[in-house]
A = this chain, B = another copy of it.
């Protein structure tokens, strides 16, 4: 099965488990928040690393990938709330709090976070130590003090360190993706941190570039949010050309950082494909 079908099958199964017999509207909201998905970048990276490492426990790798995407979707639902970005659209359709309600959007995020841990615990019966290591990685890169919750929390501080902010807000889940893919396949987490950190950094710079350069119709979400919300941005710091150069440097470093493993070449090719997709070419505002 190709990675994308594997991810969608695992995501659908996870959502069905979370819906089964629960209250209807919240059950529908879970589905709405998660399916159809976006690019599924984090689970794709996770499964790519698991494959590169031999993928000897595919059910655990699927659970790790699903958990990452559930958490990512949860963070989008909460980030879109009126108290945060107050976004009306996400992936080209009304945000969860508009399509359902604000209480159901809060509960959707909460339920997806919990479902993420549940997926790993369910899949871990045959290898509890590995599953527990995955729970630990997921919580570390998701909560406080260094996960994506911390990243959002930095936005409420008077003084923001751009690197610390990006590292927890965006890079954390990419580090989780590479490390959890490796751990699901029986490898140590540490060697895979740098790859995840660099991919995460690249995505953040690419996102800053998109936010600065593209129009709302192309993105399917509001643009200019960084400037409007006075958030730190690589474009503001380095200019457009400087940010594009940084993006390229980061991705070269990412490829160089891939640890020795059976699927090293394939993994390098995947990062290279992402690099090409991420580098902006058009349409650019003058």
Contact = CB atoms under 8 A, between A and B. Distances in A.
Interface stretch (A138-146, A180-188, A246-254): A138-146
A3 to B, nearest CB: 26
A21 B146 contact: yes
A110 interface: yes
A110 B107 CA distance: 10
Per DSSP, chain A at the interface is helix
A258 interface: no
Contact of A107 (B20, B124, B153): B153
Interface residues of A, number: 60
Interface string A109-132: 111011101101110110011011
Nearest to A150: B22
A115 B143 contact: yes
A147 interface: yes
A199 interface: no
A209 interface: no
Given A129-B128, A139-B117, A149 B107 contact: yes
A121 B142 CA distance: 14
B143 A118 contact: yes
Nearest to A118: B139
A125 B146 CA distance: 21
A152 B30 CA distance: 14
Interface string A152-175: 111111000000000000000000
A275 interface: no
B156 A136 contact: no
B20 A145 contact: yes
A197 interface: no
A118 B145 CA distance: 12
B122 A136 contact: yes
A101 interface: yes
B23 A154 contact: yes
Interface string A8-39: 00000000011111111111001000000000
A83 interface: yes
A78 to B, nearest CB: 6
Given A23-B150, A113-B113, A145-B21, A103 B118 contact: no
A90 to B, nearest CB: 16
A149 B111 contact: yes
Interface string A66-83: 000000001000100101
Given A83-B102, A157-B25, A124 B117 contact: no
5 contacts: A23-B154, A25-B156, A26-B150, A83-B106, A111-B150
| Top 6 A-B residue pairs of the complex, sorted by shortest distance between their CB atoms | A22-B145, A114-B143, A26-B153, A118-B139, A83-B102, A128-B128
